[in-house]
C-alpha cells in the first residue's frame, strides 16, 4: 500500500468517526424540542449531550490536520472551491455550539432553543450538500481551480443528498437518546426512531435513483456502499423495535459513517471529478518526504483520541435523568 493510500485511509477513519459522533449531536439538536417538550425534558436532552458535545469535535480537528498536512493541494482547492458550503457549515457549528453552551444561562430560552435546532440542521444539511456536490461532480477547471456556484448545489441529486443526511442523522440522534436518557424521554425518542429510520431508507433510495448523471467513477463500489447503508438502516429498524438500543446505535453509527467511504470509493482514484478533468489522490497529496515525516504523528494521534473517547464514554456511561448534573 502506498503512503498516499495509508493517509487516505487514516483521513477516512477520522472523518468517519466525526460523522458518527458529531452526527448524533446534530441529530439530537434537531430533535431537541420534539423530545424535550418541557423545560425538564430539554434539560435532560442537554445533559445527554453534555459530556461528549465538544469532545466529539476533536475528530473534525484531526481531519482538518490530516487534510492540511497530507493533502495540501486538495485542502487548498476543496476549501476555497466549496467555500459557500463550508461557510454554511461553520455557521451551523458556531451557532449550535454556542446555543447549547449558553442555553442554561439566558432568560430568553425560546430563542436559544431555536438556535440549538438551527445549528444542528445547518451542520447536517451542509455536510450532506458537500457529499452530494462531490459525488455529482464539481466545476474543476483545467487551471486546477474549483468555482462552485449555487446552481451546482441546487439540483435534485445534491439537494436530496442534503435531505438524506439530515434524516439519517436525526434517526441516529433518536437512537442515541434511547440509549442515553431515561424516563418518558426514552419513549418519545423511541417513537421517533422507527419512522425516521424508515424515512432515511426511503430518502437514500430516492437519492440513489437520482444518481444517474453524477461523476461517480466506480459505480459498482458506490452501489455496494449504498446497499450496506440500506441494510444497516433496516437492521436498526428491527433492533429499535425490539428495544435493543445498543445494537441499534451500532447500526445507525455504521450508517452515519458510510457516506465517507461512499465518496472515497465512488470517486477513486480521484478526489475531485468534473467533465473538464479532476484531481487524483496522488495529485492532491504532499510529497513523499512530508508523508513519511508526518506518518508517526498520524499513527499515534488516532489511538490517543480513541482512548480519550473510550474513557469519556465509560466515565459517563450511565443514563441521564432530571437529577443528573448538566454542564449546559
C-alpha angle 82/289/266, rounded to 5°?
40
Spans of all domains in the chain? 40-289
Contacts of 57 (CB under 8 A, 6+ apart): 18, 22, 93, 97
- List 277's β-bridge partners, or say none: 274
Nearest by Cα to 265 from 5, 28, 1 = 5
pLDDT tops 80 at residue 326 = no
The pLDDT tens digits for 6-61 are 999 999 999 999 999 999 999 999 999 999 888 888 888 888 887 787 778 889 99
The pLDDT tens digits for 172-224 are 999 999 999 988 889 999 999 999 999 999 999 999 999 988 889 999 999 99
The pLDDT tens digits for 128-142 are 999 999 999 988 776
Confidence band, pLDDT 50/70/90 cuts, at residue 108 = low
Amino acid at each position: 500500500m502506498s503512503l498516499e493510500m495509508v493517509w487516505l485511509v487514516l483521513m477516512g477513519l477520522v472523518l468517519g468517526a466525526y460523522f458518527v459522533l458529531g452526527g448524533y449531536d446534530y441529530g439530537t439538536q434537531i430533535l431537541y424540542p420534539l423530545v424535550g417538550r418541557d423545560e425538564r425534558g430539554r434539560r435532560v436532552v442537554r445533559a445527554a449531550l453534555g459530556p461528549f458535545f465538544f469532545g466529539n469535535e476533536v475528530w473534525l480537528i484531526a481531519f482538518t490536520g490530516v487534510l492540511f498536512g497530507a493533502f495540501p493541494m486538495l485542502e487548498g482547492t476543496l476549501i476555497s472551491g466549496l467555500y459557500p458550503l463550508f461557510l454554511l457549515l461553520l455557521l451551523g457549528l458556531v451557532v449550535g455550539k454556542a446555543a447549547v453552551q449558553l442555553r442554561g444561562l439566558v432568560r430568553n430560552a425560546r430563542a436559544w432553543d431555536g438556535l440549538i435546532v438551527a445549528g444542528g440542521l445547518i451542520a447536517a444539511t451542509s455536510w450532506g450538500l458537500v457529499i452530494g456536490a462531490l459525488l455529482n461532480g464539481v466545476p474543476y477547471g483545467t487551471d486546477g481551480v474549483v468555482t462552485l456556484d449555487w446552481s451546482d448545489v441546487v439540483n435534485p441529486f445534491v439537494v436530496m443528498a442534503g435531505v438524506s443526511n439530515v434524516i439519517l442523522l436525526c434517526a441516529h440522534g433518536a437512537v442515541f437518546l434511547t440509549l442515553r436518557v431515561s424516563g418518558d424521554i426514552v419513549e418519545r425518542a423511541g417513537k421517533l426512531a422507527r419512522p425516521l429510520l424508515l424515512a432515511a431508507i426511503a430518502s437514500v433510495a430516492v437519492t440513489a435513483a437520482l444518481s444517474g448523471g453524477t461523476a461517480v467513477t466506480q459505480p459498482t463500489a458506490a452501489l455496494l456502499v449504498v446497499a450496506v447503508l440500506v441494510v444497516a438502516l433496516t437492521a436498526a429498524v428491527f433492533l429499535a423495535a425490539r428495544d435493543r438500543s445498543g445494537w441499534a446505535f451500532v447500526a445507525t453509527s455504521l450508517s452515519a459513517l458510510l457516506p465517507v467511504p461512499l465518496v472515497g470509493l465512488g470517486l477513486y482514484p480521484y478526489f475531485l471529478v468534473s467533465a473538464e478533468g479532476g484531481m487524483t489522490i496522488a495529485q492532491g497529496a504532499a510529497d513523499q518526504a512530508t508523508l513519511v515525516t508526518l506518518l508517526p504523528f498520524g499513527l499515534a494521534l488516532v489511538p490517543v483520541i480513541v482512548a480519550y473517547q473510550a474513557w469519556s464514554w465509560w466515565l459517563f456511561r450511565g443514563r441521564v435523568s432530571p437529577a443528573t448534573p448538566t454542564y449546559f
